[in-house]
Structure 1
Amino acid sequence: MFLVGNLLNGIGVVLDTVLYVYMIIIIISALISWVNPDPNNPIVRFLRSATEPVYRPIRKFLAEKLGFRSMIDISPIIAILATLFLKEVVVQSIFDLAHRMK
């Protein structure tokens, strides 16, 4: 069983790292959006392509279901909170399960 525990621990570490990196990408994307960057810049295109698939449903939910329309886009904040939630619930559950299997 220790082999399965180590495998789950590795999956947890990788998932934790991916979520952390994605959270950094969200923060950088939000900071860059304040300065109105060149949309043809490859870094800006990467940041937008990495974050827009997450922002779009959040914006749609806020506008349609909650009727929330504002000049300030709070979808990055909600995306960061969702990422933190995933890190605390899913990743910690994987780590706990891995620890019990060792």
Structure 2
Amino acid sequence: MMTFEPVVVLMTTPDIVTAEAVADRLLALRLCACVNIVPAVQSQFFWQGAFQSAAECLCVIKTGRHLLPQIEQAVRPVHPYEVPEIIALPVVWGNADFLAWVETTVS
């Protein structure tokens, strides 16, 4: 039996409409248990050789490591960025009941 490995995925979007579309798609496909949408973050970065600054939304996605490739595939059709930020961080500790809920939800 495979051991469940919870992860938190961070993903930025250009606006709330895109963030909600990403969340709706991932939840409908049961690829995550929860998406928190932080509606206003300011991102500063280099893109195509130039310094950029942009107002974005941040999606905080709770899921399992085994679903990461499927999450990337599901997001691409609804995400307008050429290179969407999809970064997964391992959960090193968490409320056992919450993590069990995440596992049950995505299983």
For the superposition of Structure 1 and Structure 2, which TM-score range results when normalised by the shorter chain? under 0.3
Greater strand percent: which structure?
2
- The alignment's TM-score, normalised by the length of structure 1, stands at 0.23
Greater helix percent: which structure?
1
